[in-house]
Amino acid sequence: MDKLIIQGQSKLFGDVLISGAKNAALPILIGSLLTSDKLTLTNVPKLFDINTTVKLLQFLGVGISKDEDSIELIAKSINHIDAPYDLVKTMRASVLVLGPLLSRFGKARVSLPGGCAIGSRPVDIHIRGLEAMGAKITIDQGYINASSEHLPDAKLLGAKIYMDQVTVTGTENLMMAATLARGETVLENAAKEPEVIDLGNCLIKMGAKISGLGTDKVIIQGVENLSGTNHRIMFDRIEAGTYLVAAAMTGGEICCQGVDADQMGAVIQKLQETGVKIRIDKDKITIKSDGRLKAVNLKTLPYPGFPTDMQAQFVAMNAMADGVSEVTETIFENRFMHVQELVRMGAIIDIKQNTAIIRGGEELCGANVMATDLRASASLVLAGLAAKGETIIERIYHLDRGYESLEEKFNQIGAKIKRIN
């Protein structure tokens, strides 16, 4: 298995081109199941999770061709309506095939995603929403079996659905299902994440009738068919945030290109509170840091709140910044797996329920550490970049799920990261 070896304390200078967003690309690729026409996507990041999604869609029967810059998908003839455990277990977002398969083909069978490192992550809200649209759903031998074949023309029925927790993939699954349902669906307490809006905008280009994107009430009028379109995937705000925190921690000046600062408000504000200088231009964010930072308190919340996917990176930063800080995780129940590894690098952190209390100001030192999940791995890379000496990170396949060309991009701006097998 691959490992990363990082020689710490190089200052970072230069430009980083931010890739397309994993969390927008996954649902939009899966949205190809809603039409028999061609969907052409650009700015799709080259990531492990994208390969898994492509494999899953090919298994279902979607014709897929790729070149350097784009992916074309045609879901003309579908051979399977099931997402098997082997594919779902490696990527929880596979559950997104449930809504599109059910609404276009009248049935779907999708393995339950099961537990994962950051908590139990149920899909009850996805299931209850589809039931409200008339689907019959049973859980059998670890699979969700869903059918709308008992309904006229096997079509789901529009419904008013209140989601009792804000769920990103839940909103996406139900929004996709509702595009081909009979009548109007209202999703209340919907997720407002930019990636949900990106999916919604792509569906609108495909002929869907959707209003209220970016608010907590999304209204979808079902249509008979959707057609093909071209769509460029939005930038990855979590990747951009990770590079900005890296520059804050190591000192230097970097410019993230291809971004929209309006979609990163909470992260930019928290970075400014640390004392770094940030300049915002049309599609660029420049950060300048002397490496001396003030620790910041924060609490993760659904968008526009501070993203849970940036929590681990800020914990690593607070560990070396001046002051005592509190970081509270409200989205996932077990998302502090990075803490014990950061402690091995010299961080002083206590966990009390869902809050990490971090006594900053410590110089981090290189160590052998283990990646546990995607964003935890990113926090270890950041700690390694800021630490004195050498850090070796094992199990970096987690990083390859979500960061395109991580070591190449970091090395281009002055980091010293080597991948070994």
Per rule CB under 6 A, is residue 299 in the interface with ligand UD1?
A: no
192 contributes a contact to ligand UD1 by CB under 6 A: no
326: left (phi over 0), alpha (psi -120 to 50) or beta: beta
Q: Does 53 bind ligand UD1 (CB under 6 A)?
A: no
**Contacting range for ligand UD1; rule: CB under 6 A; set: 61-69, 133-141, 160-168, 222-230:** 160-168
Q: Does 165 bind ligand UD1 (CB under 6 A)?
A: yes
When asked if residue 336 is in the footprint of ligand UD1 (CB under 6 A), the reply is no
Tell me: does residue 111 bind ligand UD1 (CB under 6 A).
no
All residues at 6 or more sequence positions from 248 whose CB lies less than 8 Å from its CB, including other chains = 271, 274, 276, 287, 289, 291, 293, 317
Contact between 331 and ligand UD1 (CB under 6 A)?
yes
CA 224 from centre of chain: 31
Stretch that binds ligand UD1, among 10-18, 29-37, 117-125, 387-395 (CB under 6 A): 117-125
In whole angstroms, the minimum distance from the beta carbon of 289 to ligand UD1 comes to: 26
The answer to whether residue 99 forms part of the interface with ligand UD1 (CB under 6 A) is no
| Cross-strand pairs, 13 | 253
The only residue of 61, 63, 84, 122 in contact with ligand UD1, by rule CB under 6 A: 122
Question: Under the criterion CB under 6 A, does residue 306 sit at the interface with ligand UD1?
Answer: no
Is residue 323 a contact point for ligand UD1 (CB under 6 A)?
no
Residue 309 near ligand UD1 by CB under 6 A:
yes
263 in contact with ligand UD1 (CB under 6 A): no
Nearest approach in angstroms of CB 337 to ligand UD1 is 14
Site for ligand UD1 (CB under 6 A): how many residues? 21
The binder of ligand UD1 chosen from 20, 100, 158, 170 (CB under 6 A): 170
**Residues 179-216: b if buried by 16+ CB within 10 A, e if exposed:** bbbbeebbbebbbbbbbbbbbbbbbbebbbebebbbee
User: Least CB distance from residue 54 to ligand UD1, whole Å?
Assistant: 15
Amino acid type, 60: L
Contact pattern for ligand UD1 over residues 219 through 238, marking x by CB under 6 A? --------------------
Residue 227 beta carbon to ligand UD1: minimum distance, rounded to whole angstroms: 25
Q: Is 206 in the site for ligand UD1 (CB under 6 A)?
A: no
Among 9, 19, 23, 103, binds ligand UD1 (CB under 6 A): 23
Q: Of these, 125, 157, 219, 345, which contacts ligand UD1 (CB under 6 A)?
A: 125
Question: What minimum distance in Å lies between the beta carbon of 115 and ligand UD1?
Answer: 11
Q: Tell me which residue has tokens 């890296």.
A: 246
Cβ-based nearer residue to ligand UD1, 6 or 47? 47
Structure tokens at 59: 């298994």
* Lookup: tokens for 88: 């779902």
Q: Which of 116, 202, 255, 365 is catalytic?
A: 116
Number of Cβ atoms within 10 Å of the Cβ of 68:
5
Question: Is 10 one of the binding residues for ligand UD1 (CB under 6 A)?
Answer: no
Q: How far is the CB of 329 from ligand UD1 (least distance, A)?
A: 10
Q: Is 202 a catalytic residue?
A: no
Among 93, 146, 312, 321, binds ligand UD1 (CB under 6 A): 93
Determine which residue in the list 121, 205, 284, 344 makes contact with ligand UD1, applying CB under 6 A: 121
Phi–psi pair at 120, nearest 5 degrees:
-75, -30
110 binds ligand UD1 (CB under 6 A): no
Q: Which are the catalytic amino acids? A: 116
Q: What does the binding site for ligand UD1 look like in residue numbers (CB under 6 A)?
A: 23, 26, 92-93, 119, 121-126, 165, 167-170, 195, 308-309, 331-332
